[in-house]
Every structure is written in C-alpha cells, then in structure tokens.
Amino acid sequence: MSQILALRPFVPAQDFAVSKRFYAAMGFTQTYGDDDIAMFKQESFSFILQNFYVAAAAENFMVQMLVRDAEAWWRDVEIPALGESFSIPAPRAPALQPWGMKVGFITDPSGVLWHIAEVIF
C-alpha cells in the first residue's frame, strides 16, 4: 500500500477574506490562493480553505489540532484578543476534559469549531 503524505480537510468559509485573515492571525501561512481556495500551512500540517459555505455543514464541522502544550499555544496565538478581533463566540480556554485531553475551543468566523488539544499522559 502506498504511503499517505497528507490528509487535508476542506474548511468552509462564509466570508473568504475574513476567514483568510482569521487563519493568518491563528499563525497559519497561506501558501496558495485563488478565488476558490486558499491553502494554509503551519509546520508540516495544512488545510484548504474553500470559498464555499453551507451553514448546516459549517456549523457541524470540527477540526482537532493536537499541540504539545495547549495553554502555551493559546497564549502564543493570543486567542482572547483574536476572539475580540473577529465576530466569533467567546473562545473557551484549554481545560482538562472527561476523555483525558486538555482542550481549548475556538469557533472560526464561519462557525467551524476548532479543538486545540493536548494529550495528557
């Protein structure tokens, strides 16, 4: 079987320009863009932002991003300030969850829920 090189979700955007600014503020670098898609990358991980939006799909879309230290990532990206800069629900700071991970929650401008997660050993 051939090796998997990447697994990249297509993340919906209600307002493509606002979403691109939001993800840049989250620390992602845009590596490609046209009128329909924008590719974002951080280290070896990436996703494709699409200029396409269906409310029911976006509001039920979730992405989990595992980080080494959720609280440090939250501070470095300045998530509370990011929440104030964009019209998004209040982010929830990282906290230990019943399933054994420390997770912070942030919803993007289109309603996509991001889980910023740390595995606790």
Inside any domain, residue 1: no
pLDDT for position 83? 87
Inside any domain, residue 32: yes
pLDDT for position 87? 87
**CATH of residue 56:** 3.10.180.10
Helix ranges (H only) for the chain are: 16-25, 55-58, 70-77, 79-85
Distance CA 40, CA 59 (A): 20
Residues of the chain with pLDDT under 50: none
Into how many domains does the chain fold? 1
Compute how many other C-beta atoms are within 10 angstroms of the C-beta atom of residue 119: 11
Range of the domain at 31: 10-119
Inside any domain, residue 3: no
Inside any domain, residue 77: yes
Distance CA 14, CA 102 (A): 29
Inside any domain, residue 33: yes
User: pLDDT tens-digit profile of 25-60?
Assistant: 999 999 999 999 999 999 989 999 999 999 999 999
Inside any domain, residue 15: yes
